[in-house]
Structure 1
Amino acid sequence: MPTSDYQYEEGTFDVTPEIKRDFDENGYVIIRGVLNKQEITKLRQACELEEGVKKHSYEIPDGSGKSIRLCIWRHPGNDVTAMIARMEKTAGFMGKFLGGEVYHHHSKLIQKEPYTGGLFSWHQDYGYWYKNGCLFPDMASFHLAVDKADKENGCMQILPGSHKLGRIDHTFVGGQQGADLERVNHVRKLFDLVHLELDEGDACYFHSNLLHCSSQNNSARRRWAIVTAFNRATNNPVPEESHPWPLYTPIQMMPNDALLKCENFTDLSGKAFVDPTTDKNVKTDPMVNSLQK
């Protein structure tokens, strides 16, 4: 099995045919150090600001007594967090993995706090997006570790190669979507389990049908991550099924130093944050969310 694990070098790294084969075969590629120390420090600052993106956070019950805290935006905008979706080493690489022009479907800040961060059940991202009118699984996610992620604080777990199974039926598990557990139990006998342990600034690019999950964070360390979902431009959703997710909107691409040069931390105009009550694929925890207002 290919390693699917690479080290980013600014100015020289690119998605080669070998790396593309790894993505196609395993359903994912890890690129370590895709954000350097300065970039991840600046991004973390933007994420932690009280008047930044996290003020739009809400919680979804995980079905086992804890909750997942996140905020989601539909368009990149022009702030520091927007640059994640608009740089060549993110959107440009994703276009090469998916074989054509991509656009920003949405981004989210996942906040797994110490001791309280909930789990994500086994699922495929396309299990959600199929229900939002995306007819083909020509989609993928860029998962960026804002904090170090390991087994102890509930890192992502994946089944390499499972994207070749196609879409599995999904139903509600707590407030989120989960893949048919009986089918997942059969699938887990066929594929190796990999814990996606990442240092801050490392990223995983993975296919929308790759089965993945993550456990609760029962450690004293938080685990935050930004996940940006990209869709092929040719896979425009069925309009009447897409709400609240965007139709094809071209990305205004930026060079790889855009995050370092951006000084906009608080003007979040144009990001179009998601109201979870309009998302048919999740159920929020009304008691928790009412206490946050």
Structure 2
Amino acid sequence: MTQSLVRTKEKAFFEEHGYLVVRGAYDPEQLEELSAEYLSIWLGLLASGEIVQHPDRPLESLYPNRLRDFHRGNEKIVKFMLEPRVIATLEELIGEEPVAVQSSYYYKPPGTRGLGYHQDNYHIGVWPDTSYAVWVSLDPADEENGSLLFVPGTQKLDLVSAEVLPGSCNAYSSEILCVPEGYEPVQIRTTPGDVVIFNGNMYHGSTRNKTAYRYRRSFVTHFAGASLEKVTLNYGYLVDKHGERVRRKLNSSPKIIEMQQSIFTYKDTSLYDQYIQRN
């Protein structure tokens, strides 16, 4: 049986704070193989015209905010995503077998914006319980190039109504505007191969990449416990730890609906209703 990378002390920290940094969970060779696979995908998108560079946003347009769900049909990405040591660790932390909900590869090139505070399960819509993120650091990440921000303890709060802000730095234009009274944010640092696991109700975000030349690449998989009963539309392609497809019901009352797959655009639920009426 594959051993978890955490012990009682780390599990207690996760339960109290809502996140945990697991150092050196992936080997350099694994990171190189994953990055090479996404380079091939990126070149294909560039050649097909799906990615188009804009002179006013040269890096941001050339390297889209994220590439979503390219693990589907890709054995190399699935193998990375379902690394047994990481799955065993997540299973230890959440108390049940996890199933993968979706994957994302982030570039965060120099000069790009941060991400406002949000809760992942606001749009993923796992019910009951919540989603869990496994965030893999592919580059060194710190305050200068936009590392992760957490508000420890907020994983124990319910999902809150986020304010819709057109042009927001948040990927889906809805963000939590303030930290609750009595809570203090923390910003973490990671090195390549480190994994950050965090609860889907946790308030989290990231800061702007202020550097002139450093990227902050990462690979993120959102999971849920296998006991989940419902999940939001476009998050219904669930994969168990053996790489087999599993199915659950559709959550018909989500906060956010995602409209696009690989290079993403989020729409708030009210806007989704208008979209359905028009199409």
Confirm or deny: 8 A CA contact 2:172 2:267 kept in the other structure.
no
Match of 1:180 in 2: 176
User: 1:40 aligned to 2:27?
Assistant: no
Residue 129 in structure 1 maps to residue 124 in structure 2: yes
Q: % of aligned pairs identical?
A: 21
1:274 corresponds to 2:265:
no
* 1:131-179, Cα deviation, whole Å (9 max, x unpaired): xxx2233320001111110100111111112211221212433351434
2:202 maps to which residue? 210
Letter in 1 for 2:36: Q
Change (3 A) 1:76 1:26: farther
Shift of 1:248: 4.4
Counterpart Cα distance in 2 of 1:194 and 1:71? 27
CA drift of 1:12 comes to 6.5
Report the counterpart of residue 160 of structure 1 in structure 2. 152
SS of residue paired to 1:252: coil
Deviation, 1:247, is: 5.2
Separation (CA, whole Å) in 2 of partners of 1:53 and 1:106: 21
> Per-residue CA shift, 1:186-245, capped at 9, x if unaligned?
x1x42232212101111101111111111221212111110100011111325xxx3211
Q: Give the aligned partner of residue 275 of structure 2.
A: none
1:54-88 C-alpha deviation (Å, 9 max, x unpaired): 769879xxxxxx78611110755443222222122
* Contact 1:244/1:278 (<8 A) preserved: no
Instruction: Answer yes or no: is 1:227 the counterpart of 2:214.
Output: no
Q: What are the within-5 Å matches in structure 2 for residues 1-293 of structure 1?
A: 14-50=5-41, 69-73=65-69, 76-115=72-111, 117-130=112-125, 134-173=126-165, 174=167, 176-181=172-177, 184-185=178-179, 187=180, 189-219=181-211, 220-237=213-230, 242-246=232-236, 248-252=238-242, 274-275=261-262, 280=267
Q: Does structure 2 retain, via aligned residues, the 8 Å contact 1:30–1:203?
A: yes
CA separation in 2, counterparts of 1:35 and 1:277? 27
Give 1:37 deviation, angstroms: 2.1
Q: Distance in 2 between matches of 1:48 and 1:75?
A: 14
Q: Which amino acid aligns with 1:92?
A: A
TM-score, scaled to structure 1: 0.70
CA distance in 2, matches of 1:75, 1:233: 19
Structure 1 spans left out of the alignment, 5+ residues: 1-10, 60-65, 255-272, 284-293
- RMSD of equivalent CA atoms: 3.1
Paired residue secondary structure (2:191): coil
Contact 2:67/2:262 (8 A) holds in 1: no
Is the 2:121–2:200 contact (alpha carbons within 8 Å) kept by the matching residues of 1? yes
What is the TM-score with the length of structure 2 in the denominator?
0.74
- Give yes or no for contact 2:106–2:218 (8 Å, CA) kept in 1: yes
Kept in 2: contact 1:106–1:245 (CA 8 A): yes
